[in-house]
């Protein structure tokens, strides 16, 4: 029996086991929306802005093992989706975005609501397709899901012209896909794995640096086993948080621009580094030449060969899936029963404990002003460390990363690579739908939340009782911090004036709001918000925090990992002098 | 250093723009690019001449391989290879230049493929260097127009690029 292209789209999504489709209708996708109306296998979530549909689908992927899906119309619907697509791309998140396109005969004629979606998204997708024949829809969607989740994951766009959704064809969903030009690696090279093990066993100061690839690759258990069995110190990138338990003593905290003193010092002074699904980002190692000025051997496990030796030349590249590669390493280690030299390791740990003893995340408590760090610490306590935390972008994001100790992967959702303000609320919504029983918090700032605040309406409609923890410093705080440090306190356009009354905003959307101005109210209000009485409600917590608080430690532009700006209590520590490294133009 | 990359890719709409887009997005150089279908109509073969440090060339190769439609990439510089480019050059051929142009074309093993009272159009094939040398060898003032295909390359001997 022949069915319409639109019905084929819907059937494909059903075959893929899609639970939620995040979308927004419009002319080019009306046929698909009609087919959605006539089915009940998956639920459509009507967002209030297409960017939010894509962030929600993205967070649905991040917080589950499934692939999030979004649907947008042509033209403005498609362009609104682009920020969301680029966000997922930078963080290697699997996702399928279906966009409507004008009818094939109209393509290229500057038709109403026409944009070259395939062209616009080409640099920020793993792959994209324009489907020109109704007979190709099923194959293409099958490929899209396969490409999105295999190898190094990423977003895939399927652009479908309206006439193609109206034409009819037989529906047949392929059982498997074979793409001759796309064969992602899985198992690592045995010889390289052997070399890696030998290096680790001979190391005097070994260190493991774990990134988003271990979260995406579901390799937290393997990472933990390796760290434990070899007695290694471990650090996670911003994207890797949760891949190794944040509350474990072998965890040194996050590293990088706002990493802990001990995590960064260990990165600089280790002699053998094993990088696991991490990509030596400029926010992590800063200047490559300075990082390598301390000699070290580097092992790098990554599924994407282009991540290896991109910024830093490595000694033992292992192309493969983290889980597979780590399992093989663990098998070999188990059989041989070998361990690194205990004496060397003890010396290394002694050094690390000395660094750790400085407590670089210490902040000055206050009884007058609410310290943002304190709010995150209390949130951690009150949620038992078990909440899924979605974050926006700014200082609050860094405090969330530093003070909420994530023990499980997929618990921490944030835009690391693109740094997209406005990610938090739609992400929290997507994560709540993927995890209906979980406690979901959105840590945000008064700047970021306003970038997608309209989603309070979507949250109402679909009963996603997320808890918004706004660290409201009345500043674009991260920008203000840079202006304080590097632009002579000229706070150009970083003050958030004319803020709305967030409590009233929340109430206007049918939610609950609290404004918290006293440190002594932080804990009781958090308890109430996360307590049983408000379990089913979205709660907006507007914490008026200390406006002048800065994120420490911090590595300035062009400085090295051992040249941090440290918090006030650590200012007398002698650090390596700054030799004016090349400026990499980091941005906030 | 100059490198010649040979790329086998799916003969599909959009594949070429992905390759070109990659070079501009990542600020790699394209000195020349040629592309056409192969004996297998589902595949295109592309030759890109580029330059960069070893690290950059390694990244280019890896990034190209990452494109879904790219089947295979080889760097011809890694072994013996042959490179050919064709140039059509229209020159003024009047008075004493007429004889001189014929002579130069012969020396470079070019062929005159179109003749008018005032012009010759010469077809010349060789390495890109040779075509450059020809341009250097003749009087600039007589050149009316040049068009070059960009280099194509192939491995020497039994080495083949196939899927
Ligand atoms: C305001 C702000 C401040 C920031 N400060 C910091 C900071 O202090 N510290 C910090 O770490 N980051 C920071 N970031 C984030 C930073 O920009 C990068 O996004 C982040 O460091 C990259 O993390 P990653 O190296 O884990 O790589 P990801 O982007 O997570 O990439 C994952 C890597 O793993 C690979 N991979 C994926 N799946 C697999 C698999 N199954 N098997 C093997 N490999 C796989 C991929 O190919 C890729 O190379 C900040 C961002 C913002 C917005
Ligand atoms: C869409 C977007 N625009 C601009 C920026 C640059 N930027 C990074 S952090 C920041 C300030 C964020 O302010 P707020 O949400 O209040 O968080 P705070 O830093 O105060 O905690 C800005 C403007 C960005 N990351 N994303
Ligand atoms: Mg703020």
**String of DSSP letters for B84-113:** EEEEEEEEE--THHHHHHHHHHHHTT-EEE
Give pLDDT tens digits for A276-329: 999 999 999 999 999 999 999 999 999 999 999 999 999 999 999 999 999 999
A547 is catalytic: no
Distances from the Cα of A69 to the Cα of A41, A155, A157, angstroms = 14, 10, 10
Question: What b-and-e string marks burial along A518-555, b requiring 16 or more CB atoms within 10 Å of the CB?
Answer: ebeebbebbebbbeeebeebbbbbbbbbbeebbbbbbb
Residue A160, beta-bridge partner list: A100
Q: How far apart are CA B42 and CA B162, in angstroms?
A: 13
CB contact under 8 A, B71 and A180: yes
Q: How far apart are the first and last CA of chain B?
A: 28
CB contact under 8 A, A122 and B18: yes
* B24 burial type by CB count under 10 A (0-12 exposed, 13-18 middle, 19+ buried): exposed
CB contact under 8 A, A306 and B59: yes
Share of chain B above pLDDT 70, in %: 100
pLDDT band at B154 (very low <50, low <70, confident <90, very high): very high
> In Å, how far is A127's CA from the nearest CA of chain B?
7
Structure-token pair, residue A421: 């303000």
Domains and CATH numbers, chain B: 1-77 (3.30.70.260), 80-152 (3.30.70.1150)
Residue B74, beta-bridge partner list: B6
CB contact under 8 A, A310 and B65: no
What's the pLDDT at A257? 98
> Distance, CA A257 to ligand 1 centroid (Å)?
12
Can you say whether residue A578 is alpha, beta or left, with left for phi > 0 and alpha for psi between -120 and 50 degrees?
Answer: beta
Q: How far apart are CA A433 and CA A427, in angstroms?
A: 10
CB contact under 8 A, A147 and B63: no
pLDDT surpassing 80 at residue A95: yes
What's the pLDDT at A583? 44
Q: Please say whether the beta carbons of A173 and A22 come within 8 A.
A: no
Phi then psi for B59, rounded to 5 degrees? -65, -40
Arithmetic mean of pLDDT, A269-273:
98
Give pLDDT tens digits for A485-518: 999 999 999 999 999 999 999 999 999 999 999 9
- Using most ligand atoms within 8 A of CB, pick from A91, A267, A284 the residue to mutate for ligand 1: A284
Share of chain A above pLDDT 90, in %: 97
Residue A132: closest CA among chain B residues belongs to which residue? B13
Q: How far apart are CA A205 and CA A277, in angstroms?
A: 20
pLDDT surpassing 90 at residue A131: yes
What's the pLDDT at A320? 98
How does DSSP classify residue A450?
Answer: G
- List, edge to edge, every strand of the sheet that includes A539-544: A412-413, A388-391, A440-444, A467-472, A539-544, A512-516
Name the catalytic one among A37, A112, A486, A578.
Answer: A112
Share of chain B above pLDDT 90, in %: 95
Q: Report the residue from B14, B58, B68 with minimal CB separation from A309.
A: B58
What's the pLDDT at A579? 59
pLDDT surpassing 80 at residue A587: no
Residue B87, beta-bridge partner list: B124, B148
Arithmetic mean of pLDDT, A193-222:
98
Q: How far apart are CA B129 and CA A490, in angstroms?
A: 56
Question: What b-and-e string marks burial along A560-575, b requiring 16 or more CB atoms within 10 Å of the CB?
Answer: bbbbbbbbeebeeeee
Q: Report the residue from A123, A126, A181 with minimal CB separation from B70.
A: A181
A228 is catalytic: no
- List, edge to edge, every strand of the sheet that includes A127-130: A43-46, A20-23, A68-72, A95-101, A155-161, A127-130
**CB-hemisphere CA count at 13 Å for A96?**
26
Nearest to A237 by CA among A409, A432, A424: A409
> In Å, how far is B146's CA from the nearest CA of chain A?
32
Q: How far apart are CA A245 and CA A385, in angstroms?
A: 11
Task: Starting from the CA of residue A304, give the closest ligand.
Answer: 1
Alpha carbon A298 to its chain centroid, in Å, reads: 25
* CB of residue A478 inside a 6 A radius of ligand 2: yes
Give chain B's mean pLDDT.
96
Residue that has been written with the tokens 């991040």 in this structure: A62
With an 8 Å Cβ cutoff, the interface of chain B facing chain A consists of 9-10, 13-14, 17-18, 21, 25, 55, 58-59, 62-63, 65-66, 68-71, 163
Contacting residues of B for A123, CB less than 8 Å apart: 21, 25
How does DSSP classify residue A225?
Answer: H
Question: What b-and-e string marks burial along A338-349, b requiring 16 or more CB atoms within 10 Å of the CB?
Answer: eebeeeebeebb
The residue ranges of DSSP E strands in chain B, in sequence order, are 2-10, 32-37, 43-51, 70-75, 81-92, 111-115, 119-126, 143-148, 152-155
Spatial neighbors of A235 by CB under 8 A, at least 6 apart, are A207, A208, A209, A210, A251, A252, A253, A254, A255, A259, A263, A266, A267
Contacting residues of B for A127, CB less than 8 Å apart: 68
pLDDT surpassing 80 at residue A386: yes
What's the pLDDT at A575? 80
Contacting residues of A for B59, CB less than 8 Å apart: 306, 310
Share of chain A above pLDDT 70, in %: 98
Q: Three-state SS across A50-113?
A: HHHHHHHHHHHHHCCCCCEEEEECCCHHHHHHHHHHHHHHHCCCCEEEEEEECCHHHCCCCCCC
* CB of residue A546 inside a 6 A radius of ligand 2: no
pLDDT surpassing 90 at residue A581: no
Give pLDDT tens digits for A29-51: 999 999 999 999 999 999 999 99
Arithmetic mean of pLDDT, B82-107:
96
Q: Please say whether the beta carbons of A318 and A300 come within 8 A.
A: yes
Q: How far apart are CA B50 and CA B52, in angstroms?
A: 7
Distances from the Cα of A468 to the Cα of A426, A443, B53, B81, angstroms = 11, 6, 49, 63
* A124 burial type by CB count under 10 A (0-12 exposed, 13-18 middle, 19+ buried): buried
pTM confidence score:
0.97
CB contact under 8 A, B55 and A118: no
Q: Report the residue from B10, B55, B59 with minimal CB separation from A181.
A: B10
Name the catalytic one among A113, A250, A294, A351.
Answer: A113
* CB of residue A420 inside a 6 A radius of ligand 1: no
pLDDT surpassing 60 at residue A361: yes
């Amino acid at each position: 029996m022949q069915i319409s292209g639109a019905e084929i789209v819907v059937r494909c999504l059903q075959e893929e086991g899609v639970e939620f489709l995040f979308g927004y209708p419009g002319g080019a996708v009306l046929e698909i929306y009609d087919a959605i109306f006539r089915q009940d296998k998956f639920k459509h979530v009507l967002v209030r802005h297409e960017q939010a549909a894509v962030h929600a689908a993205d967070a649905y992927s991040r917080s589950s093992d499934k692939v999030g899906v979004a649907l947008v119309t042509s033209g403005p619907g498609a362009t609104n989706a682009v920020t969301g697509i680029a966000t997922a791309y930078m963080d290697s998140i699997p996702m399928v975005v279906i966009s409507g396109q004008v009818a094939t005969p109209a393509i290229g004629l500057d038709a109403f609501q026409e944009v070259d979606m395939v062209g616009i998204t080409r640099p920020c997708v793993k792959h994209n397709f324009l489907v020109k024949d109704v007979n190709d829809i099923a194959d293409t969607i099958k490929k899209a899901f396969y490409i999105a989740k295999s190898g190094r994951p990423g977003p895939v766009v399927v652009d479908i012209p309206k006439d193609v959704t109206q034409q009819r064809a037989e529906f047949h969903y392929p059982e498997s896909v074979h793409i001759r030009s796309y064969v992602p690696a899985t198992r690592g090279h045995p010889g390289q794995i052997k070399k890696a093990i030998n290096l680790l066993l001979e190391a005097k100061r070994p260190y493991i640096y774990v990134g988003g690839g271990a979260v995406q690759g579901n390799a937290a258990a393997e990472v933990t086993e390796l760290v434990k069995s070899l007695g290694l110190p471990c650090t996670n990138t911003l994207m890797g948080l949760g891949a190794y338990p944040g509350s474990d003593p072998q965890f040194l905290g996050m590293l990088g621009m706002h990493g802990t003193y001990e995590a960064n010092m260990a990165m600089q002074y280790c002699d053998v580094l094993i990088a696991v699904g991490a990509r030596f980002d400029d926010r992590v190692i800063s200047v490559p030449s300075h990082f390598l000025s301390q000699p070290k051997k580097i092992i790098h496990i990554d599924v994407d060969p282009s991540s290896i030796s991109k910024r830093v030349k490595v000694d033992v590249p292992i192309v493969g899936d983290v889980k597979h590669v780590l399992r093989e390493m663990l098998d070999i280690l188990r059989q041989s029963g070998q361990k690194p030299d205990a004496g060397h390791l003890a010396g290394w740990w002694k050094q690390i404990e000395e660094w750790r003893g400085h407590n670089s995340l210490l902040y000055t408590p206050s009884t007058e002003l609410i310290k943002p760090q304190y709010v995150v610490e209390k949130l951690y306590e009150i949620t038992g460390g078990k909440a899924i935390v979605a974050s926006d972008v700014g200082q609050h994001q860094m405090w969330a990363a530093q003070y909420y100790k994530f023990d499980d992967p997929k618990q921490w959702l944030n835009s690391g690579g693109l740094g997209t303000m406005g990610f938090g609320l739609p992400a929290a919504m997507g994560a709540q739908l993927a995890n209906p029983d979980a406690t979901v918090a959105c840590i945000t700032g008064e700047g970021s939340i306003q970038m997608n605040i309209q989603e309070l309406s979507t949250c109402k409609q679909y009963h996603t009782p997320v808890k918004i923890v706004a660290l409201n410093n009345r500043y674009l705080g991260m920008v203000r911090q840079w202006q304080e440090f590097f632009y002579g306190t000229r706070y150009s356009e970083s003050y958030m004036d004319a803020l709305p009354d967030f409590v009233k905003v929340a109430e206007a959307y049918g939610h609950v709001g609290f404004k918290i101005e006293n440190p002594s109210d932080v804990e009781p209000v958090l308890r109430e918000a996360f307590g049983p009485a408000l379990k089913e409600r979205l709660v907006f917590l507007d914490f008026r925090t200390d406006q002048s608080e800065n994120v420490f430690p911090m590595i300035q532009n062009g400085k090295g990992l051992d040249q941090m700006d440290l918090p006030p209590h650590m200012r007398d520590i002698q650090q390596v002098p700054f030799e004016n490294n090349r400026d990499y133009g980091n941005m906030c | 250093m100059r490198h010649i990359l040979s790329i086998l890719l799916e003969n599909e709409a959009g594949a070429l723009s992905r390759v070109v887009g990659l070079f501009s997005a990542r600020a790699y150089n394209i000195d020349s690019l040629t592309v056409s279908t192969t004996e297998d109509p589902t595949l295109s073969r592309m030759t890109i001449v580029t330059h960069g440090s070893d690290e950059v060339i390694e990244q280019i190769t890896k990034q190209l391989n990452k494109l879904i439609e790219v089947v295979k990439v080889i760097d011809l510089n890694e072994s013996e290879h042959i490179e050919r480019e064709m140039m059509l050059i229209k020159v003024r051929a009047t008075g004493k230049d007429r004889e001189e142009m014929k002579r130069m074309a012969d020396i470079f093993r070019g062929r005159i493929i179109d003749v008018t009272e005032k012009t010759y159009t010469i077809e010349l094939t060789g390495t890109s260097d040779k075509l450059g040398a020809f341009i250097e060898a003749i009087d600039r003032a007589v050149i009316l127009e040049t068009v070059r295909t960009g280099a194509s390359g192939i491995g020497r001997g039994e080495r083949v690029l196939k899927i």
